[in-house]
Amino acid sequence: MVGFSNDVTSPARAAILAADIAAATPLTAADIAAQQAEAVADFVFILAEKALELAKISVEEKAYLRAQIATVKSLYAASYASTREVDALAVAYTRAIENYRTELANGQTVLANREVFRRRAAAAIQGYRTRDIAFRTFRTEALEEYQTLLDWASRYAFLAAQAYDYETGLLGSTDGQAFLGDIISSRALGVVGPNGEPTLSASATGDAGLSGLLAKLKGDYDVVKGRLGFNNPESNGTTFSLRRELFRIPDTPDGDTAWQQALEGLVTTDLLTDADIATHAMQLGGTDVSSQPGFLLSFRSVIEDGKNFFGKDLLAGDSTYTTSNFATKISSLGVVFEGYHGMAPCPICLQGHDHADALSATPYVYLIPAGLDSMRTPPLGDGSPLREWAVQDYAMPLPFDLGDLEPSNEAVQQTSDSLRASFRSPRRHAAFRATDIVDYFYTNLASDYTSSRLVGRSVANTNWKIAIPAKGLLVDESEGMARFIRSVKDIKLHLKTYSYAGN
């Protein structure tokens, strides 16, 4: 046996080293023989030493092996003694494995049964859920449609009540305002007749619905339309002079200068700077984005004892309306430019179109009620107080809007029974032709120079606006306004009215 500490290759390496040295140094044959003999002797000596070392190591290894064998025998005896204990534990382990497998099989059976049950339950629940979603979806859609139609019905019912109040003036009391509140708070349609007519409900308590409230409104109106005189109004035609009754400028040569100065004070470089004119005058700017010069006049009108139409003290020659009528409303109106040159047609005009101050044959004017309408309460009770209304003149929306001209800006549920456009589309006022002779209003030509745009509006208003665009006088707007100031002697307002006594 060779130990790990023996160097068995040292003799060979020594011989190789000696050969290398011999190759590097030139030697004689005797030297070479002597060296080889010495090398052989040294190699034999080294082999002897190595053999001695190997013998010593063999003895030591045998002793180590004997000790290891004794240790193994001792361990084997100890392990053999534990064989019975290991066998008992092995049997217990086998039994535990079998029990585990049995319980595992039972658990897998339970899981399989549970999976089958959950699949069946999920299928049933999914069916219920689908039916529930469909029910909720259809119910929500029906509720949204109902809510939309109810909102529109409430809005129209409220507008009907407001129109009733404007025409009759009977809802200004505490109870009348409470009736308007009932319309706003009502959340039911009520009982509707076979032809869609509002019908009173059988119960006097609770929410009567919009139908019941409208039935009450109609019942009162059927009586008051005769009692207040709606079926036989009083008709009048009245002409008011702005020069004499509003500005108090006399019809004298000295007054002409003051009147021209008053007209110069009415000149404005841009009519559109006035908020009311810009909001309510239709197509005043046209396609031209530049300024629109012209004449702008503001005044108020009243119906009061001792006051003329413009709220001035009632003097000789002034016109007014009687306070015995609770409402005096406009049927048609016209404006007169007295002294205007070049008006057409002018069958009895003394001056023609060749006059130095001649203007356009068809001047147009805007008359806009920008303030609050004033009317009295019908004298059915103890008094007849004055009431005011802020009239919001909006266009009625199209029911179907077949041309799709009024896109809705309200995110609501739309049906074929609901309206698409909002109530926020203001109705603007168009210009109408003026005349130069008051007598036209009492002839067959009256319809050519009057406007019925303000029919139904009260003649009493806190702020009227008259706008005369210079672009309708001459292409040279400055020259047109200068000729207008020099030639026009008065601006008159003719009102064709109807009045109700109210008792």
User: 205 falls in which pLDDT band (50, 70, 90)?
Assistant: low
Q: For the chain, what are the domain ranges?
A: 10-81, 148-227, 234-398+419-500
CB atoms within 10 A of CB 262: 18
Asked which of 58-67, 250-259, 323-332 is least confident by mean pLDDT, the reply is 58-67
User: 419 falls in which pLDDT band (50, 70, 90)?
Assistant: very low
Question: How much is the pLDDT for 266?
Answer: 95
Question: How much is the pLDDT for 32?
Answer: 62
Which range is most confident: 68-72, 183-187, 260-264?
260-264
Residue 35 vs residue 492, higher pLDDT: 492
The crossing angle, in degrees rounded to 10, of helices 83-168 and 209-227 is: 10
Percent of the chain scoring above 70 in pLDDT: 84
Give the C-alpha separation, 436 to 432, whole Å. Answer: 13
Asked which of 98-107, 138-147, 264-273 is least confident by mean pLDDT, the reply is 138-147
User: ∠ at Cα 23 (18, 29), nearest 5°?
Assistant: 90
Residue 202 vs residue 162, higher pLDDT: 162
128: helix, coil or strand? helix
Question: How much is the pLDDT for 31?
Answer: 61
User: 203 falls in which pLDDT band (50, 70, 90)?
Assistant: low
Question: How much is the pLDDT for 416?
Answer: 43
User: 383 falls in which pLDDT band (50, 70, 90)?
Assistant: low
**Residue type at 40 in one-letter notation:** V
Question: How much is the pLDDT for 410?
Answer: 45
Question: How much is the pLDDT for 14?
Answer: 57
What is the pTM assigned to this prediction?
0.68
Percent of the chain scoring above 90 in pLDDT: 46
347: helix, coil or strand? coil
Residue 343 vs residue 487, higher pLDDT: 487
Side-chain-side CA neighbours of residue 462 (13 Å) = 11
Residue 345 vs residue 331, higher pLDDT: 331
For 181, 211, 212, the CA distances from 215, given in Å and listed in that order, are: 16, 6, 5
Question: How much is the pLDDT for 415?
Answer: 41
Tell me: pLDDT of 272 over 80: yes
User: 260 falls in which pLDDT band (50, 70, 90)?
Assistant: very high
